[in-house]
Amino acid sequence: MVRVFLAIAAVLGGTAVAAGAFGSHALKTRLSDRALEIFDLGTRYQMYHALALLFVALLLLQPAAAQPLVQSLLTAAGIAFMTGVVIFSGSLYALSLTGVKWLGAVTPLGGVALMVGWGCLAIAALNMER
């Protein structure tokens, strides 16, 4: 999973930069200020969680992560971060670009996935041995 997490973290980080540039340049004159704020929030959370996924991948390389419980929790955290980014940031991008209001109801599901990822990371940390 380390290579997968590293690769996906890199893709998420790179596409967050691209989305941010797209939002601040190409969309600046096409979207309302509120829609741009929503789009920007999606890019920020995507980048934050690209870095979190990178961190999880690096933790999986540590000897303390060899314990089965810790390894499972870190893997769950990585999967939750990826899922959360797709749902949270994806729904915000779609909402800002389309104006379809019901997409805002999907966003909290992505937020829950992101919080699950942080929770799994915290529990993994508490269970790591030196």
Please state the rounded mean pLDDT for residues 31-54. Answer: 96
**Which strand (E) or helix (H) includes residue 9?**
helix 2-25
State the average pLDDT for the chain: 95
The pLDDT value recorded for residue 104 is 87
The pLDDT value recorded for residue 56 is 98
Return d(Cα 111, Cα 98) in angstroms, integer: 20
* pLDDT tens, position by position, 52-98: 999 999 999 999 889 999 999 999 999 999 999 999 999 999 999 99
The pLDDT value recorded for residue 46 is 98
Contact partners, residue 130, CB within 8 Å, separation at least 6 = 64
Burial of 27 (0-12, 13-18, 19+ CB in 10 A): middle
Residues 10 and 51: beta-carbon distance below 8 Å: no
The pLDDT value recorded for residue 17 is 97
Specify the pTM.
0.94
Q: How many CB atoms lie within 10 A of CB 8?
A: 19
pLDDT confidence bin for 128, thresholds 50/70/90: very high
Q: How many CB atoms lie within 10 A of CB 129?
A: 8
Kindly tell me if the per-residue pLDDT of 130 is higher than 80. Answer: no
Residues 97 and 112: beta-carbon distance below 8 Å: no
